[in-house]
Chain A
Amino acid sequence: MGAEGESVQRLMPEFHRRHPEIEVKIQSIPWTAAHEKLLTAYAGNSLPDMCQLGNTWIPEFALLAALENLNGWLDSSTTVKPEHYFPGIWDTNVLEGAAFGIPWYVDTRLLFYRKDILQRAGYAHAPRTWQEWLEVSRRIKQLPGGENNYAILLPTNEWAPFVITGLQAGSRLLRDGNRYGDFSGAAFTRAFEFLMQFYRDKLAPVGITQVTNIYQGMAEGFFAMYLTGPWNIGEFRKRMPADLQDDWMTAPLPGPDEHTPGVSLAGGSSLVMFKSSRHKPQVWKLIAYLSEARQQLEFYRITGDLPAVRAAWQDTSLANNLHVQAFYRQLEYVVPTPKIPEWEQIAMKVQQYAEIASLQRRPLTEVLAALDRDIDLILEKRRWLLELKSHD
């Protein structure tokens, strides 16, 4: 998908050399259309043999019984082992004990920040707890010129920060076996109130129109912190001015208190095999090939996508890269979002209500109660089905 679809072509010559009898056709589809295209392919019985699947999509395609259970293939494999992967990432591929995907590359969110600005605010390191996070933000705001600048960018067209802090506070997001929303529960409310403080104290810009270019905004010091993913390491290197290249850094996320590490999202893409495939042994050979540490490393060099296989991280190109190392530490503490097909729809709702809460001065408990009502509506079908199955 996207750039990956084209880049993986460059790994193919070696595979063809080893398995000249297998013919591989690669079709690259843009991320924005991938979900629709795959579902339509399912409805039209024209799925490919295998594909790359965003790991939050796995529950949906597993539910459609479109994915091959890989447990059997894993048992007989000598090279692909669950323990080669970050546990949180591996977990996203497993549903009721069955693995439906093999992690291909990983993705999580962490803190990108301006070292020099934090230093001026009296912080030689990135904030490690929520309290430090808020504290350093307040101090940045008090710096000269602070009235026109902000400490952090928390755009309300991204759901990740809201979900991440909720997970950090210990919320499961949904309750009763993912039957109802739990966003008005105590844990999520605490996290939501914490993030809303940044908007209310003018530590984060409200709305998404003030910053049209995050790299420019970060370079100008319009904001000093931003939660984002590994793809932005390359972008920051390319787009930040040369004299600021030593002044930006990445760090694992702050946690709610000193004893709790700040967890982040277990994102990334997996390789899946479709049940309808008539070339399963060959597909597994390709999955195993792409899961070798060497190929993972090569893929990182081509695309900048972080390798899923932990052995690949020992290579100097990753081990000596300070910006990347923060991701390795964060990846030890990642948790999946609820593994149900409705998740993406729910995430969009969270984002929508976060925007409402940041713009309006309504009591947050009221906003979150409304969010839960909307989510319970989305989950109505799921509850009905679970009820139906329990009677069988």
Chain B
Amino acid sequence: MTDARRPRTLQVEIKSLRRAAYFFLAPALLPIFLFFFVPALAAFLLSFTDFDIYALGNFQYVRFVGLKNYFQLLQDPLFWKATANTFYYVLVGGPLAIAASLGTALLLHSRVIRFKGFFRTVYFAPVVTTLVAVAVVWRFLYHPRFGLLNYVLGFFGIDPIDWLGDPNWAMPAIILMSMWKNFGYNMIIFIAGLQSIPEQLYEAARMDGANAWQQFTSITLPLLMPTTVFVSIIAMIGNFQLFTEPYVMTQGGPVNSTLSLVLLMYQQGFRWWNLGYSAAIAFVLFGIILAGSLLQTWLQKRREA
């Protein structure tokens, strides 16, 4: 009899514990629900309506249009242009930025470098600088006639490049700037990852006669894998949401060569006030990011298996 009763008291206990847990979680969950899930749900519903400037003036002028916004999106050349640009930024800019942060992290972690604290601070400084201020400075650097970058290229006999005015160069210019601005953040995470690798492993490797490259590929890289996956997922999510850089530097131009999905969403939503259409873009982007994250975790699992 006692045996039969014991699980029940345990259950009751768990139940009351759970209730207590929810009680303590409520102050965090409630705002998340109110300020995140409710607006996200509202935006999702919005994407099935034709909410626009007329509806803003009079709420009776909203119509439910089903999937029309999504179908229209598929036929919109600007949407495809923005999608291509965004993928360009993610697939080229993302790996480059991660390579840069890993490289500097390795340098700052190595024994040969002095004044590590100083360099760490210097490399991290752009991350905490306001992007708008950074953009103003970089626009000077990129100036076709007076910019430092073209001045330096001139030494190598390279003709001046109109960095932000030429459709072929505008996106590389944006990538370069945002790389410089953001690599410090991932660098810090990589340094933390490197510091958590036990020193004994390297000692053992050296005893076995492994050279520096072998140590790097057999110890550092595999043990850094979880950090790399984390960094690349976070970076990918961030990169898909490219907005401020083109908004401040180029406004999406020239000839839409730096128009990103979020910038298109912003223009549709707040320039033309087509909020329904803009919400549809947001959910397509959500789908893309979700698929990207799932793909990356799946690849990681397969590698482990």
Contact = CB atoms under 8 A, between A and B. Distances in A.
Interface string A334-371: 00000001001100000000010000000000000000
Given A209-B167, A381-B52, A63 B270 contact: no
B37 interface: no
Contact of A212 (B72, B165, B270): B165
Contacts of A208: 254-255
Contact of B273 (A39, A355, A382): A39
Interface in B38-59: 50, 52-54, 56-57
A264 B16 CA distance: 77
A43 B54 contact: no
Contacts of A345: 272
Nearest to B60: A388
B220 interface: no
Nearest to A356: B77
Contacts of A27: none
Contact of A36 (B144, B167, B270): B270
A64 B167 contact: no
A35 interface: yes
B250 to A, nearest CB: 12
A36 B271 contact: yes
A40 B275 CA distance: 12
A4 interface: no
A319 interface: no
A209 B52 contact: no
A381 B162 contact: no
Contacts of A157: 253-255
| Size category of the binding interface on chain B | 20 to 34
Contacts of A63: 53-54, 57
Interface in A16-36: 32, 35-36
Given A36-B271, A40-B270, A381-B50, A209 B56 contact: no
Nearest to B168: A209
B254 A64 contact: no
Interface in A28-70: 32, 35-36, 39-40, 42-43, 60, 63-65
B56 to A, nearest CB: 6
B293 interface: no
B166 A209 contact: yes
Main secondary structure of the interface of A (DSSP, over half): helix
Interface residues of A, number: 24
B36 interface: no
A95 to B, nearest CB: 14
B251 interface: yes
A124 interface: no
Interface string B266-278: 0000111100000
Choose among A209, A382, A385 the residue with the greatest number of B CB atoms under 10 Å from its CB: A209
Given A36-B271, A381-B52, A209 B254 contact: yes
Given A36-B271, A381-B52, A212 B57 contact: no
Contacts of A341: 53-54
B162 A35 contact: no
B144 to A, nearest CB: 6
A157 B254 CA distance: 9
A35 B269 CA distance: 12
Nearest to A43: B56
A35 B54 contact: no
Nearest to A207: B255
B61 interface: yes
A385 B255 contact: no
A32 B61 CA distance: 28
A65 B255 contact: no
11 contacts: A35-B271, A39-B273, A63-B57, A64-B53, A65-B57, A157-B255, A208-B254, A208-B255, A209-B167, A344-B272, A382-B54
Given A60-B53, A381-B52, 12 more contacts: A36-B271, A39-B53, A39-B56, A40-B270, A157-B254, A157-B255, A208-B254, A209-B165, A209-B167, A381-B50, A381-B61, A385-B61
Interface of A: 32, 35-36, 39-40, 42-43, 60, 63-65, 157, 208-209, 212, 341, 344-345, 355, 377, 381-382, 384-385
Ranked nearest first, the 4 interchain pairs of A and B with the lowest CB-CB distance are A36-B270, A64-B57, A212-B165, A212-B162
Interface of B: 50, 52-54, 56-57, 61, 63, 72, 144, 162, 165-167, 251, 253-255, 270-273
